[in-house]
Amino acid sequence: MRTYQGDFVIDLPRSSVWAFITDPERVGPCIPDLLKLDVESETRFHAVVRVGVGPVRGKFKLSTELTVTEPEVSAELSIRGGGMGSGVDMKAKLTLSDTENGGTKLDWRCDAAISGPVASLGGRLIDNEAKKITEKMFNNLSKALSSVSEQVAATSEETAEPGLKE
Amino acid sequence: MALHQTELRPLGKCVGRKEDPRFIRGKGRYVDDIMLPGMLYMYLVRSPYAHARIKSIDTSAALQAPGVKLVITGEDLEAMNLAWIPTMANDQQMVLATGKVLYQYQEVAAVIAETREQAVDAAQLIDIEYEPLPVVVDPFKALEPDAPILREDREKKSNHVFHWEAGDREATEELFRNAPVVVKKDVRFQRVHPAPLEPCGCIADYNPSTGKLTWYVTSQAPHAHRTVLAMVSGLPEHQIRVISPDVGGGFGNKVPIYPGYVAAVVASLKLGKPVKWIETRTENITSTGFARDYHMTCEIAAEEDGRVLALRVKTIADHGAFDAAADPSKFPAGLFSIVTGSYDFKEALVEVDGVYTNKAPGGVAYRCSFRVTEAAYLIERVMDVLARRVGVDPAELRKRNFIRKEQFPYKSPTGWTYDSGDYEKTLALALEKIGYEELRKEQAEKRARGEFMGIGISTFTEVVGAGPSHTFDIMGIKMFDSAQIRIHPTGKVIARLGVRHQGQGHETTFAQIIAEELGLSTDDVLIEEGDTDNAPYGLGTYASRSTPTAGGAAALCARRIRDKAKKIAAHLLEVGEEDVVWDGVSFSAKGLPGKSVTMKDVAFAAYTNLPEGMEPGLEATYYYDPPNLTFPHGAYIAVVDIDKGTGAVKVRRFLAVDDCGTVINPMIVDGQVHGGLTEGFAIAFMQDIPFDDEGNCLAPNWMDYLVPTALDTPHWETDRTVTPSPHHPIGAKGVGESPNVGSPAAFVNAVVDALAPLGVEHIDMPIFPWKVWQILREHGVTE
């Protein structure tokens, strides 16, 4: 099991951020290297993404399910799938809180279990790749949210630095 | 200089290897070199999960892919009663998974297509839905009461496979209770893999018009494989021909029957076409027979002066998901009870518990002589711990405890009868040749300067040559071996044996034995092995058994021919048989100087000029059931220097003095020793197959699982003493595995000896530089 986590701040009230991140139609396109998105319901969507870790390159099919733990505060995303003889099982937890100047802080933490040849490549490759993917994911998310707020939010770019922890 | 192959009396000489011209010119013929008309290719779909239930398998897209002829799943095999096959250890294993998978990279489906690339591409289209289950990678956790039960097919609802013990429990406990000194150490022999250059593979070629299956397979035991295949598949055994062509390294990795073999045979039977399956490097390391994985706790009871009294060993053996260890059937822990080694223990108790985990099956491979590697490493390592505790030099401690020359045949406390040995002589030669006294002086000076230099000794005893058929069998088949010799009219010989070499040099050494016995040159003798349609039945080449068993058969078979030849010689010399004398090169008549005939003369006569009433021809077959095992031994010494800044260990010198009894070809013995030492070096310093908590194999390729190159490998010095086996026809004992059995302890003992001033008593292998660096840092030696 590997754990990745980070946080960033959005210049939008908590209710707007919540509405965005719980909408598969709007969150889905933020997935990096997305090839295909198929929204099944308000809480479930399927995605096909392009993956490249070291010598292993191909497509991953992922199924995502959203569970609200506390409305407007926290939600969990379970992501499971795989491809190319490899499997991935992730649980992402998102927590929102108000900032002093009316914005929203988004804390995220992701526990990932990876199996198959991709996992066998070892931490040195996976950690970097996972860091790249999560950075892209939350960069995309924060960009999309910024455009929603009709402001040019330079601050979100600066703080979108996902940390990395084993 | 190598002896010319045309010279007579070749035994004990450095005859150039007859097989080398084809190998060194790249003209060897391995399974993957064989191309048959209309041949199809198979690729296996493997599990990414170490433990998961299979919810569904959808093969429809793969079946539509270009070139695909067939897809096989576990369900298909179930319908043929082939989803499970027996292992060599009284267990069963899945061929293609049904219900659930039990280790990462387990075989789940097979795709057969016109080209290898098409099969690989189509395999990606097979959609398998898994439900991951809790994974057990730690064998100790597997034994906890709340551990998930891995093997639902077994009646016993536990991950415990077997308990096995040898020795006298009460007598051992008694000695421990009253012993003045007791040392105890936990020692791990990590999971490693032999990783032969040529991975496993086969071509199954079923001919529907003749009903005959020709199975080309890279096999160390083609005859046994034919029998197992006949029993598993129901095909009549005489309709199966197993051909093991040149084998690119075996090291025990090519003894078991693997799922890919069965799947390829099924595919060929279904399609009526030849089907080739060759695994990749990753498939080889992750799914075929690994080696070791023993968690051992060793205690020695001794007197104050270091004389040993009793030995107690408890072991947890991690067998992976199936017990597929290729052991003789009465020995679930192999010959591990040889762990009392070269020392005269009064009593011993050895216990082994086998455990299932979510890892690939195996355990017996990599030049291990059926687990003697683990035993020799353990006793040689812990004897050094004892030496340190009682303050006796490790060489001196060994001398005090050796079984003496006059004690042979020696009955060990775990039930072995050692045939012969002279441990003191071998160690004395090693100490003298390495300059032990001077090295200790140099070490003392270096220690005074704060430098780290170590000397490590290993005086191991091997047990090989299984075996006497009253004790040794594999799946019920007795472990004898065989030779068949035919002498043609011009005195040229074809000899076939029941074993199968993989680089050991049988084409030369067995030719030397036969040529020696028949008064011919090695050039006159062609050795053939590996084709079950023409070689006599035998159990194969592993556990250093070829020379002790088939080598004995070759000598006795040649003597059987010589008996008939003597009668023909009497006829040619016109004397009575009792007046014919054999001098090793020719027959002569007593009291008639100058009158003699050679084996070539006799051979010609056997087809042209026979005594009245004698059956024509000159050939014989011999099935040799050895009366006992053989017990080679050796004294190995490693000298190492440690870099204080990086923790890197440099092996400055390594001397191996082996005693393998009569030496057939010193150059080949040196080659065997060099190869085995290089593997022992790799195990001590480079090799390990770890898993993460999800059961992912973390060393599935040669980037993470290291194989030493010429640059890594130290310079090897070798020497020998010769204590012939009293029961072997030519006194030979076998040597292939001694260097891997004996060397890891010498390396580790040397590193621990170097670090002894810091209070270090043990370091588990592999000794990566970072492990040494951490120790140096903990003690403030480096920053």
Q: What is the pLDDT of residue B3?
A: 65
Contacts of B124 in chain A (CB under 8 A): 58, 83-85
* Angstrom distance (rounded) from CA B80 to CA B93: 15
| Chain-chain contact of B696 with A84 (C-beta, under 8 angstroms) | no
| pLDDT of the residue at A123 | 62
User: Mean pLDDT throughout B770-782?
Assistant: 96
Domain membership of residue B271 (yes or no) is yes
Per-residue pLDDT reduced to its tens digit, A110-152: 888 888 777 776 666 777 777 788 778 878 888 888 777 654 3
Give the amino acid at B532.
T
Range of the domain at B720: 290-465+628-778
The closest of A2, A1, A4, A10 to A139, measured between CA atoms, is A10
Tell me whether residues B132 and A82 touch, CB distance under 8 A: no
Q: Could A115 and B45 be called an inter-chain contact, meaning their C-beta atoms sit closer than 8 Å? A: no
**In the prediction, which pLDDT does A155 show?**
43
**What does the pLDDT read at residue A163?**
41
pLDDT at A159: 45
Say how many domains are in chain A.
Answer: 1
* pLDDT of B95 strictly over 50: yes
Once rounded to an integer, what is the mean pLDDT over residues B80-93? 94
| Class of residue B395 by CB neighbours under 10 A (exposed 0-12, middle 13-18, buried 19+) | buried
What is the rounded distance in angstroms from the CA atom of residue B392 to the CA atom of residue B479?
43
Is residue B369 domain-shared with residue B487, that is, in the same domain? no
By C-alpha distance, the chain A residue nearest B692 is: A1
Give contacts of A87 with chain B, Cβ < 8 Å: 48-49, 130, 132
Question: Which of A53, A62, A63, A115 to substitute to test the interface with B, most B CBs within 10 Å?
Answer: A115
Report CB contact under 8 Å: B48, A58: no
Question: Distance between CA atoms of B159 and B50, rounded to whole angstroms?
Answer: 15
Question: Quick one: pLDDT band at residue A160, thresholds 50, 70, 90?
Answer: very low
Is B368 labeled as catalytic in the residue annotation?
Answer: yes
CB atoms < 10 A from the CB of A24, how many? 22
Question: Across all residues in chain B, what is the average pLDDT?
Answer: 96
Query: B545 and chain A: CB distance < 8 Å anywhere?
Result: no
**Measured distance CA(B43)–CA(B62) in Å, rounded:** 12
Which of these ranges, B105-114, B376-385, B461-470, has the smallest mean pLDDT?
B461-470
Domain that holds residue A16: 2-165
On the CB side of B255, how many CA atoms lie within 13 Å of its CA?
Answer: 33
Are A85 and B48 a contacting pair at CB < 8 A?
Answer: yes
Q: Does A48 touch chain B (CB under 8 A)?
A: no
**pLDDT at position A162:** 43
Q: What is the distance in angstroms between the CA of the first residue and the CA of the last residue of chain B?
A: 51
Best A120, A127, A166 residue to mutate vs chain B (most B CBs within 10 Å): A120
Nearest chain A Cα to B129, which residue?
A81
- Please indicate whether, in this complex, the C-beta atoms of A1 and B701 are within 8 angstroms of each other: no
pLDDT digits (tens, 9 = 90+) for B232-273: 989 999 999 999 999 999 999 999 999 999 999 999 999 999
Q: Does B125 touch chain A (CB under 8 A)?
A: no
pLDDT of residue A150: 53
Contacts of A58 in chain B (CB under 8 A): 124
> Residues B726, B419: contact at Cβ < 8 Å?
yes
Q: B50 and A113: CB-CB below 8 Å?
A: no
Residues B646 and B618 in one domain: no
Nearest to A115 among B48, B286, B704 (CB): B48
Q: Which of A58, A87, A120 has the CB atom closest to B130's CB atom?
A: A87
CATH code for position B729: 3.30.365.10
Q: Are residues B647 and B733 in the same domain?
A: yes
pLDDT at B2: 61
Task: Tell me the β-bridge partners of A67.
Answer: A76
Interface contact B694, partner A, CB < 8 A: yes
Which pLDDT does position B289 carry in this prediction? 95
Q: Do B694 and A84 touch (CB under 8 A)?
A: no
| CA of A68 vs chain B CAs: smallest distance (Å) | 24
Please check whether residue B216 lies inside any domain of the structure: yes
CATH number at residue A60: 3.30.530.20
| Contact call for B48 and A117, based on CB within 8 A | yes
Strand partners, A113: A89
Answer whether residue B155 is part of any domain: no
CB contact under 8 A, A119 and B282: no
More confident residue, B44 or A110: B44
Q: Do both B613 and B645 map to the same domain?
A: no
User: What per-residue confidence (pLDDT) applies to A158?
Assistant: 45
Nearest to B696 among A82, A89, A119 (CB): A119
Give burial (CB, 10 Å; 0-12/13-18/19+) of B593.
exposed
Kindly state whether residue B3 falls inside one of the protein's structural domains. no
Query: Of A147-151, B75-79, B302-306, which gets the smallest average pLDDT?
Result: A147-151
Q: pTM for this one? A: 0.93
Kindly state the percentage of chain B with pLDDT values over 70. Answer: 100
Given a cut of 90, is residue B215 above it in pLDDT? Answer: yes
Q: Is residue A61 pLDDT above 50, yes or no?
A: yes
pLDDT (mean) for B688-712: 93
pLDDT digits 0-9 by tens, B550-580:
999 999 999 999 999 999 999 999 999 999 9
Share of chain A above pLDDT 90, in %: 29
CB contacts under 8 A, B 697-716 vs A, are 697-701, 704
Of A1, A87, A122, the CB nearest to B48: A87
* Cα–Cα dist B605/B601, whole Å: 6
Question: What's the helix, strand, coil split of chain B in %, to 5?
Answer: 30, 25, 40
Neighbours of B117 (CB within 10 A): 13
The reply to whether B325 and B272 lie within a common domain is no
Question: How many other CB atoms sit within 10 Å of the CB of residue B280?
Answer: 15
Point out the residue among B49, B130, B697 whose CB comes nearest to the CB of A120.
B697
- pLDDT (average), residues A55-70: 86
Residues of chain B neighbouring A78 (CB-CB closer than 8 A): none
Q: Cα angle vertex A60, ends A59, A66, to 5°?
A: 145
Is pLDDT at A81 greater than 90 in this prediction? no
The pLDDT value recorded for residue B342 is 98
Residues B95 and B214 in one domain: yes
> What's residue A161's pLDDT?
44
- B504 and B617, same domain (yes or no): yes
Instruction: Determine contact: A166 vs chain B, CB below 8 A.
Output: no
Closest-CA residue to B568 (of B608, B595, B528, B522)? B608
Give a yes or no: residue B361 inside a domain.
yes
Residues B265 and B364 in one domain: no
Residue with tokens 């489906």: B109
Q: In what order do the strands lie in the sheet with B633-642?
A: B452-458, B633-642, B649-659, B717-720
Q: What is chain B's length?
A: 783
Evaluate if residue B733 carries a pLDDT over 70: yes
Claim to verify: residue B448 and residue B489 sit in the same structural domain: no
Residue among B314, B301, B286 at smallest CA distance from B346: B301
The number of C-beta contacts closer than 8 angstroms across A and B is 50
Residue A138: count other Cβ atoms within 10 Å of its Cβ. 21
Q: Are residues B490 and B453 in the same domain?
A: no
Distance CA A119, CA B159 (A): 26
> Poorest-confidence range of A123-137, B373-387, B463-477?
A123-137
Domain assignment of residue B337, yes or no: yes
Residue A4: what pLDDT? Answer: 85
What is the pLDDT at residue A36? 93
Q: State pLDDT tens for residues B530-540.
A: 999 999 999 99
Percent of the residues in chain A that have a pLDDT greater than 70, as a whole number: 85
- In this complex, is the C-beta atom of A21 within 8 Å of any C-beta atom belonging to chain B? no
Is B367 a known active-site residue? yes
Does a structural domain hold residue B757?
yes
C-alpha distance from B703 to closest chain A C-alpha (Å): 9
Candidates B46, B55, B694, partner chain A, best to mutate (most A CBs within 10 A): B694
Alpha-helical (H) ranges within B414-551 are 423-434, 436-448, 506-518
Look at residues B601, B624, B647 and tell me which one is the last residue of a structural domain: B624
- Report, as an integer, the average pLDDT of B327-339: 95
Domain shared by B278 and B330, yes or no = no
Verify that B600 and B710 share a domain, yes or no.
no
CA distance B505 to B503: 6
Mean pLDDT of A48-53: 84
A139/B contact by beta carbon, under 8 A: no
| Among B151, B292, B367, B562, the one annotated catalytic | B367
> Using the beta-carbon criterion (under 8 Å), do B694 and A82 form an inter-chain contact?
no
What pLDDT was estimated at residue A151?
A: 45
Please state the domain count of chain B. 3
Cα–Cα dist B603/B583, whole Å: 17
- Judge whether B703 lies within some domain: yes
